[in-house]
Structure 1
Amino acid sequence: MDAAHPRGDGLYAVPRPVTDLGSCVFHHAIDLPGYGAVPGGWDLRAGIVDYLGHVAFAGKRALDVGTTSGFLSFAMEAAGAEVVSYDLAQSEPWDVVPFPGLDRGDFEGELRNHLDRIEDAYWLSHAALGSRARLARGSFYAIPLALGPVDVAVFGTTLVRMRDPFSVLQSAARLTRETLVVTEILPRPYRFVRYLRRRVGLPMFLLPRAASRARFEAWWVFAPATIQEFLRILGFGESAVTYHHQLVLGRRQLCYTVVGRRTEPTNPRG
């Protein structure tokens, strides 16, 4: 541990030396000094400003919820933010769909190894970029208040894998003084929700099906208006939606970003 990355009374992970790309899993493609262009499932390099909702990060303290290999954290830092990266702790359970007969023990080791390799990618990138971002891990449903306050909290396609997405948003909103950013993918069969009138309803579509039994299946597709209403409930009364395309597994996919501005006081206990 060095002086630039204190443990913060146990809040923050100690940076670890990682130099082997082969030990890493990169969620996002990234350009790294000394390594060049590193591939990943998502490639946001050309579209990162759209993905982050054109928010101005200079001079802000930002929380990246669901950081994975850290691309959003490092992008916000490059834009002038002080960044806290946050992700699931090894000791916390993944929100798998509890299909009948599912034995978590069959894949727990595989999952932990995968998360460890993602963290290796974070630390390799962190060192290569000379980053000062700090990494904390824990439950998405109980983000420690001691990490805050932050000016901006960002959810980059994180809520889709949360069993209770509202509670996860609420957990971050308690720390957030100004702006909450949520970006999600909008799959082709659900693109009609862009045009639904609010009086029809605010839908969330359940993705898992009992017949599929996929171990790491996503839970939801959200209408953008549903995310906006979540944010209003949490005190972010002003919001705007923008649409953009991003490269996912080599294909252009429609995404949307909701930027909510706080209009009501924070409620740390809420």
Structure 2
Amino acid sequence: MSHASAELEREVAGYRWYHTLDLAHGVVTEGMFDHRPVVDRYLIPGQLSGMRCLDVGTMDGFWAFEMERRGAEEVVATDVAAVDDLDWPPLWRQRVDPILDRTKADRFALAHAALGSRVTRIERSVYELDPEELGSFDVVFAGDLLVHLKDPITAVQRLRSVCRGSAIICNPVKRFPLGRGRALAELDGVNEFRWWLLSETAVKQLLRAAPFGRVEVGRRFELPPRGSPKWKGLRCAMRGYVG
């Protein structure tokens, strides 16, 4: 192992990671989620040359760096500035160690430097997305974001406000046996670390109401957190098109 890779590995080991990232010198972060085996389920175009892209709720930056890798001309990544800015259920603020959110800016910076990235990271809530400030984007991406938001309706409207091409939302989804094909949601915030768990139809309805025109629905897939066999992490990606 070279000195450079040993030093990077030492720095990486100083953090708990949310994303599994392939960094320089063969160093891989041990993230809570490893998206690499399912990356093609997320409906992101394989070629993004000349496009301006936005990753909302970037955490460690996996999707921002992936869009850059696919040739995007410019990638902007956003996340909230502080733990207190998270839209978590109040009861869960007392139960969850926020270390993953407390150190995410540092982890992003470490990965950014290791990859030689040009991604721009700014601190904004999804509710604060403003076309007057940020301009518009060809591709807007939000992964596993709505499940942690008290107001997913406004959030999707803010995604639409900065989108000139298409927006991709991937979110955990729930099958409602007695409500197949209906736009249903389960409210929690007490027993589970989430506000709303939506049906696929509900996510699609949010995109249509934002409003996006045509909505492409991907195939459901599972992505459980590392070391957690209990929750299978059923998800679905959808891509809403402007116009």
What's the TM-score, normalizing by structure 1?
A: 0.75
Change (3 A) 1:208 1:177: same
The alignment status of 1:228 with 2:172, answered yes or no, reads: no
Counterpart of 1:16 in structure 2 is none
> For residues 55 and 169 of structure 1, do their structure 2 counterparts lie closer, same or farther at Cα, with a shift above 3 Å needed?
farther
Q: For residues 151 and 114 of structure 1, what CA distance do their matches in structure 2 show? A: 29
Q: Matched residues in 2 for 1:86 and 1:121: separation?
A: 14
1:30-73 Cα deviation digits (max 9, x unpaired): 11113512110111112212124556423211110100000010
Aligned residue number for residue 246 of structure 1 = 223
Partners of 1:131 and 1:35 lie apart in 2 by 16
**Number of the residue aligned with 1:117:** 103
> For residues 194 and 84 of structure 2, what CA distance do their matches in structure 1 show?
18
* Deviation of the 1:195 alpha carbon: 7.5
**Is 1:258 matched up with 2:224?**
no
Determine helix, strand or coil for the equivalent of 1:182.
strand
RMSD, aligned α-carbons: 2.8
In the alignment, structure 1 residue 47 sits paired with structure 2 residue 38: yes
Q: Distance in 2 between matches of 1:229 and 1:193?
A: 19
TM-score by length of 2: 0.83
Instruction: Report SS of the residue matched to 1:256.
Output: strand
Unpaired segments of 5 or more residues in structure 1? Answer: 1-18, 264-270
Contact 1:92 1:138 in 2 (8 A): no
Contact 1:52-1:183 within 8 A present in 2 as well: no
Tell me the residue number matched to 1:93: 85
Residue 37 of structure 1, aligned match among 21, 28, 41? 28
Structure 1 contact 184–255 (Cα < 8 Å) conserved = yes
Tell which has more relative contact order, 1 or 2 (C-alpha 8 A, sep 6+).
1
Cα 1:194/1:86, change in 2 over 3 Å: farther
Aligned-partner Cα distance in 1 for 2:21–2:210: 33
Query: Which has the larger helix fraction?
Result: 2
Equivalent residue pairs, number:
230
Distance in 1 (CA, whole Å) between partners of 2:185 and 2:104 is 29
User: Cα gap change, 1:165/1:194 in structure 2, threshold over 3 Å: closer, same or farther?
Assistant: farther
Query: Is this contact kept in 2: 1:25–1:118, CA < 8 A?
Result: no
